[in-house]
Amino acid sequence: MKNFTKFFLCIYIIVVIALALFLAIAPFYSVAKNILLLLVNRLDFYTSVFCFFIVVVNGIILINILKREKFRLGVSKYTSEGELIISNDAIKSLILKSLKDIKGLKDVKILLKTDKDKLNILIKALVYPDHNIPNLVLEVQRSVKRYLESIAEIPVGEVKVMVDEIASSTKFKVE
Amino acid sequence: MKLDEMGQVKIAPEVISLIASMAASEVSGVADLTAGFTGDMLEKVGVKSPSKGIKVQLGENEVLIDVYLIVEYGVVIPEVAKEVQKKVKLSVETMTGINVTQVNVHVQGINFQKEPKEDMKK
């Protein structure tokens, strides 16, 4: 779960707790009861907006929870003692580590796709100028494949490398 | 649950979780067991679970165990997983007498902070 979603979820839980507490004490305190009755009598457009907001927040949280479950799946292997599941997070960490020492790469985004029995990888790369791109791509492909197959024993199918952009350290002004 | 002449012996799932957790933590190459989002939040407010990262599905006289863990960087993951499976199965079966049908290992992440031990490096 992303930090933004966690923050969102915390705020949401606090609001729900406050509302629940307010409703819980309302029957016993006349002030709270009056406020509640006043709110009920003044149901208007803004109430609808607030309720719609609550529905949207619920939707976002639900989508994130479901996404997370899907994301957690990763690659699984069966052994005599049970199953071994390596999460996509862990595989991405391994790929990033294997690319750390390759000169010429500034940033990468990794997408994983599991085929029938192999893992296909798409790496979107931001590369530094003055590097031979075909050689760099070949090095990336070899490094990722070799590393994953030796450390995680995951059969790697394709390693596609998409050079998204060239990082430029200097910007030229055209006058 | 086991029946003998003296009566029933019931073993709570929490006990099995604890045994499995201790066995898994002792394996070289395991950095930590993961508690998940709820567990992490509880840990931050001071509620620590000794059997975090373990899910137990208890049957009549058999048990299925899921282990959620983070491994050290540099170790061969399937070897560590196999070792975890063996050790958890052995510990639970020895201490409780309950048959362990499966030990599923879920590798949730890699720990890059500590250097792995020499014997686990490839």
Domain locations in chain B as residue ranges: 11-120
The angle subtended at Cα A70 by Cα A16 and Cα B14, nearest 5°, is 70
pLDDT for the residue numbered B81: 93
Q: What is the pLDDT of residues B21-73, one digit of tens each?
A: 999 999 999 998 987 666 666 677 776 777 788 999 988 888 999 999 999 98
Q: Which residues, including other chains, have CB under 8 Å from residue A134's CB and lie 6 or more apart?
A: none
pLDDT for the residue numbered B74: 87
> Is the Cβ of B97 closer than 8 Å to some Cβ of chain A?
no
8 A C-beta contact, residue A113 and residue A145: no
Statement: residue B86 has pLDDT above 60:
yes
Dist CA A12 CA A10 (whole Å): 5
- Give me the DSSP letters along B53-109: TEEEEE-SSEEEEEEEEEEETTS-HHHHHHHHHHHHHHHHHHHH--EEEEEEEEEEE
Q: Measured between CB atoms, which of A79, A90, A94 is closest to B108? A: A90
Chain A CB contacts of B78 below 8 Å: 77, 79, 84, 152-153
Dist CA A83 CA B30 (whole Å): 17
> Is the Cβ of A110 closer than 8 Å to some Cβ of chain B?
no
Count how many Cα atoms sit within 13 Å of the Cα of residue A72 in the half-sphere of its side chain: 16
Dist CA A107 CA A126 (whole Å): 5
The answer to whether the CB atoms of B78 and A152 lie below 8 A apart is yes
Please give the residue that has the higher pLDDT: either A76 or B87. B87
> Is the Cβ of A47 closer than 8 Å to some Cβ of chain B?
no
Q: Which residues, including other chains, have CB under 8 Å from residue A89's CB and lie 6 or more apart?
A: A71, A72, A74, B108, B109
pLDDT for the residue numbered A167: 80
Chain B CB contacts of A3 below 8 Å: none
The answer to whether the CB atoms of B107 and A87 lie below 8 A apart is yes
Residues in chain B: 122
Chain A CB contacts of B109 below 8 Å: 87, 89-90, 93
Q: pTM for this one?
A: 0.66
Average pLDDT over residues B86-114: 90
Chain B CB contacts of A151 below 8 Å: 74-77, 122
Between the CA of residue A137 and those of A119, A129, A158, what are the distances in Å? 18, 14, 13
Residues of chain A with CATH 3.30.70.1350: 87-166
Statement: residue B122 has pLDDT above 50:
no
Statement: residue B96 has pLDDT above 80:
yes
Statement: residue B121 has pLDDT above 50:
no
Q: Measured between CB atoms, which of A83, A93, A153 is closest to B102? A: A83
Task: Write down the ipTM of this complex.
Answer: 0.73
Dist CA B22 CA B92 (whole Å): 10
pLDDT for the residue numbered B69: 92
What does DSSP say about strands B99-111 and B62-72: parallel, antiparallel, or unpaired?
parallel
3-class DSSP assignment, residue A164 = strand
The answer to whether the CB atoms of A90 and B109 lie below 8 A apart is yes
Please give the residue that has the higher pLDDT: either A157 or B3. A157
The answer to whether the CB atoms of A82 and B105 lie below 8 A apart is yes
Dist CA B48 CA B26 (whole Å): 19
pLDDT for the residue numbered A116: 73
Q: What is the CATH code of the structural domain delimited by A87-166? A: 3.30.70.1350
Mean pLDDT across chain B: 83
pLDDT confidence band for B101 (50 / 70 / 90)? very high
Statement: residue B119 has pLDDT above 70:
no
> Is the Cβ of B44 closer than 8 Å to some Cβ of chain A?
no
For A137, the token pair is 């791509």
> Is the Cβ of A75 closer than 8 Å to some Cβ of chain B?
no
What does DSSP say about strands B62-72 and B54-58: parallel, antiparallel, or unpaired?
antiparallel
pLDDT for the residue numbered A14: 87
For A27, the token pair is 């029957």
What would be the CATH architecture of the domain defined by B11-120? 2-Layer Sandwich (3.30)
Statement: residue B88 has pLDDT above 70:
yes
Block mean pLDDT (10 aa), chain A, length 175: 70 85 85 81 80 81 66 75 87 90 88 84 89 90 91 89 79 55
Statement: residue B79 has pLDDT above 90:
yes
pLDDT confidence band for B116 (50 / 70 / 90)? very low
